[in-house]
Amino acid sequence: MTAARSEERADTVEQRPAAFAAPKGIPEYVPPESAGFEHVRTTLVAAADRAGYGLIELPVFEETGLYARGVGESTDVVSKEMYTFADRGDRSVTLRPEGTAGVVRSVIEHGLDRAGLPVKLRYAGPFFRYERPQAGRYRQLQQVGIEAIGVDDPALDAEVIAIADEGFRALGLTGYRLEITSLGDAESRPAYRALLQEFLAGLPLDEATRKRAAINPLRVLDDKRPDVRALLVDAPLLVDHLSAASAEHHAAVKQHLDDLGVAYVENPRMVRGLDYYTKTTFEFVHDGLGAQSGIGGGGRYDGLMATLGGQQLSGVGYGIGVDRTLLACRAEGVAPWSEARCEVFGVPLGEAAKRRLVVLAAQLRRAGVRVDLAYGGRGLKGAMKAADRSGARFALVLGERDLEAGTVGLKDLVSGEQQDVELAGATDEVLARLRA
């Protein structure tokens, strides 16, 4: 290359606009790693689907007041983490930080609670929280969730928990544990609240923490700072002050879990990060993830529907982090998915061969086979490299001589063996090989 051309090329490079990058704290899943993300999400959804939970697609943003009223203004989610902005009509809207409030709003709006109860719904998608990014803590997080609304039955609580457990088991995970507790009911909470506030009043808390305690003292129990946690060692526990009804409910939930073979440990100090939880509260924890060990959790929310303007109906549900569950799979070395883009890869040698393979690929796709082709007129060597990269099990190699003979080369990309098969019967032959 001459010096003049070299300078010309350098000038061209310098004139290119700067490349964009994804926003900070937002994970992206691209092939082949995205196959794992998709498998985790699909497996978790399938567990809910088998239990009769129907799909609900929620808006990605809602009126800000929905979360302020439903989730609780004293929570970190509402006070610190929400993506809130004014739209062009000067209305305050918020990117959804969680799913339950939106589901309950939708149930009320569409009158789903006027039909048979419980209303059983599942959802999946992105949620948004402005947090300090770190492994397992993202500003755009992917969740699968379910909600069962309208029936206060301990067996339903156990079903919800068991569905999450089944999803994790179906992925092959073993290194997690289920922690449960009860946050009491409308009878037990006021007395406990007064008791806890009395205890907190005697502690040397900073002003911000005192304000949180005045709004919702349970929020203080969720404080992660070591110095504050040390002060709370002797704090009264709600599970020790349950009403007779909520204690009976909690015992029944545990009995159902025992019957279902779902192992659990009691964690009386658990406090979920959302204000609407009552009675059954639970979290799935995986110690292989470090500080961000929670991979999913939820509980019962007896007053939320009425708070949002609906009937006085109970509900129970969970949200499972797809991102963190995928990290848990990686931590355990579990990968029950294939990263192959396709099962069959077509290698045409010449235009006539390409036309024929395009048709054959369409026939195989209609039969349910994932098929890709080498496009762009690649030579045999380059096309076979592409076939290997695709992860396909078989390659179909077709050239001009093959067309004349009415055959196509069927190559096993694992063993390397290749044989000619009748072109007219290639679809049936490939299907038979894949099913063998």
Single-letter residue type at 102 = G
Whole-angstrom distance, CA of residue 95 vs CA of residue 26: 14
Range with the poorest average pLDDT among 257-261, 291-295, 354-358: 291-295
Q: Are strands 84-86 and 92-95 parallel, antiparallel or unpaired?
A: antiparallel
Q: What is the pLDDT of residues 92-120, one digit of tens each?
A: 999 999 999 999 999 999 999 998 999 99
pTM of full prediction above 0.85: yes
pLDDT for position 76: 77
Q: Which residue has the higher pLDDT, 413 or 134?
A: 413
Q: What is the pLDDT of residues 279-335, one digit of tens each?
A: 999 999 999 998 789 999 999 999 899 999 999 999 999 999 999 999 999 999 999
Cα three-residue angle 189-193-196, rounded to 5 degrees: 135
Q: What is the pLDDT of residues 230-250, one digit of tens each?
A: 998 999 988 899 999 999 999
pLDDT for position 118: 97
DSSP alpha helix (H) spans, 15-116: 34-49, 64-70, 76, 100-110
CATH domain 344-435 topology = Rossmann fold (3.40.50)
CATH number of this structure's domain 34-185+242-332, picked from the four choices 3.40.50.970, 3.30.930.10, 3.40.50.11900, 3.40.640.10: 3.30.930.10
Tell me whether domains 34-185+242-332 and 344-435 share a fold. no
Whether residue 75 is predicted with pLDDT greater than 80 in this model: the reply is no
Q: CB burial class (10 A; 0-12, 13-18, 19+) of residue 115?
A: exposed
Name the residue ranges covered by the structural domains of the chain.
34-185+242-332, 344-435
Whether residue 12 is predicted with pLDDT greater than 70 in this model: the reply is no
